[in-house]
Structure 1
Amino acid sequence: MALEGSLAEVSLADICQLLAMGRKTGCLTVRDQGSFGYVYFEAGRVIHATVLNRPDRLGDLVLAGNLLSPEALAKVEGERGDRTLAQALSESEVLDPEALEPLLAMQVEEAIYHLFSWGQGAFQFDPDQALDAGMPRVSMNAEGLLLEGARRVDEWGQIQKKIPSTDLIFGIVDDPPDEVEAELTKDQKRILSLLDGQRTVDDLAKASGLLDFDTSKALFGLMVAGFIERVGTRVVETEPEPSEPEARQFLKLARAFFKAGMFEDAERELERSVEAWPSFGTARRVLGALLVRQRRFEDALEHFSRVNEADDRTYAFFRNKAVALEMMGRLDDALAVLEDAESAFPDDPELALARGICQLRGSAPDPARESLDLYRARIGAKTPSPVYFAYAILAH
């Protein structure tokens, strides 16, 4: 079922309700300027949701629940590669899957509730887009999420009037009321115990293991009850140095922009990724491919030359690098790259075809014929590419 439109005309809650009632399977993509959100459905139930360009709170939740030591979590982080932290944790043996599941559900809830606050933007449902293999999933009733989401949107409007930023700092008043008489909630007691006049709202969320909304709601209730007051705002004098997690987040956002056809935005995020982490081969490989698409071959080769890890030297990497060299007239170098690709991906017919074309352009018809014949042999009974026939005629 093709479904797309504007959030100004149809609310996200109505869209999700339609997908749930229809027991649909696929991915709902929501875009608002430079932000992207994804909600995956399976037979009408929500199995995953995420919002790009937002901090990944899973590590904070793990530490706040004392499920792992900081050292054990850091070890998983260091070994996760291009996987999300959720994937790395689920595939490792350091954390019980039953302990991880409620934390994943909390992340899904937070993502959906955040998306519900978007009053503008565009949406598109793709029934053919499945959740990546290996990505942890939950199974949540969409109706319950919709009801809670609607309630939170209403509450959030009131909360934001007193807590408009997560950089705000709160402290306990000089003469607070009695906690027993005030009948504080569990979340309010937890937040109250963490207040020291230095922690921001964001710090309190991380330390308590509560979601952003629940942290702000607890603070709002404590303010109304007369327990706390605003004492300041954190001021960041200099921008913090970007790190590997930020670089990976920029890459995710770039891929979302690329998929949406927003190539300038994708390039900007990729540049931010390699600036944050200069040795990030995956980002350089993707950026190089984008630059090849834009026929900026010299710039592409600059990034390709800095891809060193074997895992990043993918089939697409070799093909794009060879194209860039060929288009710049560096045919011998292009053939050398294709030979390297042949070693990594033996018996691939497209590599033989690409090599034959490159050899023919280099005025080497005999080797070209051999490569084109090899292409035919490798594809067997399949119909050759139209490109093959064009160059085969030139080679003979």
Structure 2
Amino acid sequence: MNRRDRLGDILVKHGKITQSQLEAAVHRQTKEHGKRLGEVLVAMGVITQADLERYMRVQIEESVYYLFTWTQGTFNFEADVRPGPQDFLVSINPESLLLEGARRVDEWSLIEKKIPSFDLIFVVDKDRIAISESQLTDAQQRLLPLLDASRDVNQVIEDSGLGEFEIGKALYGLITAGFVHRAGRTTTGADAEITDARVEEHRNLGVAFYKTGMLDEATREFRRVAELRGSDASAHFYIGLVALKQARWREAMEALRLAAEKGGGRPAVFHNLGFAYEQLGRLDEAEAAYAEAAARARTDAKVYLGWGVVALKRGDYGGAAGRLDRARELFGQAPPPAWFWARSLAAAGAGEFEQAEELAEDGVEAYPSHAALQNNFAVLKELSGDLTGAEDLVRAARKNEPSLPQLSKNLGDLAYRGSRYDEAWDAYSRAVELAPELGDDVYFKLGNIAYKRNNRELAAQLWRKALEINPKHELVKANLDTLSALS
């Protein structure tokens, strides 16, 4: 019989007796020959007769269900054999037992596609569960604390007090919903030498694929490394790097966080984790990750640049300026375009517009074909009142990077401000063609132009789109109310 089906273990796992009570009962049973363990436990007063009958039924049912998983074996039938003298007998409907067994076999054929082996280790995606509105079953709730990337399925079954089928069914649901994913597998000592060789083989292939830009293939190899050696931090690190390159921010965050938890203490782990959090909009966590990276790499200019950008996005313009200035020192004479972009915005955010314009101009001089820097410089020129200079910059930037929607929007703003509505219409239309959710103000102004052209139906459509993006836009509401009153 499977050890998990033994009555004593079943009672312990269901909290009916303690391990010490079980050991005491087993010791007492050796002295009271002929008595079954259940009878001893009842005599000790640790369980009731009703509990014993209930869990005897569970034991028998689970044992029979386990037999349904056998694909081969032998059996022996003995005629006219009767139960010996006992205090009680358990009556189970064989038809129900067979139907339930058949149902479990059918379900298990699906479950084993997700859980092909009990030596697999799974880990919970806590963030995905936190934002989900799905209701988990009691078994799934009981399972979650045990899926901590250290226990394989065998150990989860042992520690949960649930049967293999219950665990399999609960785990299958969690995996299918994306709340749980594989983190590796356990290995025996006999497999260790073979596993080491396979790990290195898959790792070397993964690195080679990564360096040649074959990212899906690289991910496949590093996932195999993680499965073979669950504690391997570098495998999760590379999986995270690939996900970053493919803009799969949540997957990158999960992989890099696992790398950090498994001992990947390199600054690059926290640097990239910070960037993943930043792309997800989780700026407080990004701040903490970048701070950890900076503490471990005090002379890495790229870390300070990323840390400064996060401060900028959090509205901490003083903190951003300090970090970015430190990055400039570490970069030397040639900081990258992102530095000029961020530092000029930090100065503007702090109200230092003259310094912001100087920094933006320095950036354009250093990188004359960089559209984002030209756009920033144009916005600052517009703020200073130099509309002609701003428009010249935007047009030049748009020529270099026609697919950047913000440039078309800014050109539209300048034309709209100068009452050149046909030009504004063309520029705004191009902007929303490139980025349909660019902003409510684009649709608001397009609606205004349509209204000026006496196309009230189109104006209403565009204003409704603006209101869809920003339900609190009061001017749009007023325009729609006016239009409704006129119709």
- TM-score, normalised with respect to structure 1: 0.42
TM-score (norm 2): 0.35
Q: Which has the higher contact order (CA 8 A, sep 6+)?
A: 1
Higher helix share: 2
Larger proportion of strand: 1
Based on CA coordinates, which of the two structures has the bigger radius of gyration? Answer: 2
